[in-house]
Structure 1
Amino acid sequence: MAFDGTIDPGAFTARLVLEQPVEVPDGQGGVERTFSALATLWARIEPTVAKADEAAGTLPVTVTHRIWMRRRENLAGGMRLRKGARLFAIRAFRDPDETGRYTLVDCEEIKP
């Protein structure tokens, strides 16, 4: 979606769960990272790039997405978005037109 300052509210058709990382002691002096739901929101998901990299005789594919949502004050590095079984690691986020209305999130789809 090219951003011209307006977004059709009907374009936010994906129901996502914003998850935050939680570190739980593992009983051996370390921690185990899990995620807990922070909020449920409506968004628009746009695939942007699919890149294949050969590694150890396999061809893993990395898919990145732009996810548009209404402004969120509580985004931070390490968070992720979930749509059913699909997971999106948040890599960067910004206010696309500096009006405080929307947040544009750059994500990488990760395998659970």
Structure 2
Amino acid sequence: MALLDIDAGRLTARLVLERPEAVEDAQGGAETGFVELARVWALIEPFGFAEEEKGPGLVSTVTHHVTVRARAELAAGQRFRKGARVFEILALRDPDETGRFQVALCHEVTG
């Protein structure tokens, strides 16, 4: 596979990488919380937009490609946070199979 020319200078968004963790609730059960793993520089690129009818109205889904330097602990099911914006990681890929960068397909959580 050809080496892609990914300009690290384009990684200008500062994101918090978080992993899910079970947190005890007041009822003796557990709910899913998130714990910060790292702060990373990233490139966020809108990828797609869709609307579907659910319940009483339309629900919008926005997907993004988020490019970061490769990290061993990065996995689907984690999420990125940028202020109030949250990006759930659906899938990961190495764009040129060199282990330098990873591209995450993310769903932006709204509402």
Tell me the TM-score normalized by structure 2: 0.91
What number of residue pairs does the alignment pair up?
110
Write the distance in 2 (CA, Å) between the matches of 1:48 and 1:77.
17
Identity %: 50
Write the distance in 1 (CA, Å) between the matches of 2:22 and 2:84.
21
1:82 and 2:61 equivalent?
Answer: no
Give the structure 1 partner of residue 34 of structure 2: 35
Per-residue deviation at 1:22? 1.2
- Structure 1: tracts of 5 or more residues without a match: none
Write the distance in 1 (CA, Å) between the matches of 2:44 and 2:11.
8
Give the structure 1 partner of residue 67 of structure 2: 68
Per-residue deviation at 1:71? 0.5
Per-residue deviation at 1:25? 2.3
RMSD between superposed Cα atoms in Å: 1.6
Write the distance in 2 (CA, Å) between the matches of 1:31 and 1:103.
32
Check conservation: 2:15, 2:40, Cα contact below 8 A: yes
Deviates more, 1:4-13 or 1:14-23: 4-13
The secondary structure found in structure 1 opposite 2:74 is coil
1:8 and 2:7 equivalent?
Answer: yes
Write the distance in 1 (CA, Å) between the matches of 2:45 and 2:57.
26
Write the distance in 1 (CA, Å) between the matches of 2:62 and 2:98.
29
Query: What does residue range 95-106 of structure 1 map to in structure 2 within 5 Å?
Result: 95-106=94-105
Check conservation: 2:14, 2:42, Cα contact below 8 A: yes
- Structure 2: tracts of 5 or more residues without a match: none
Runs of 4+ with deviation above 6 angstroms: none
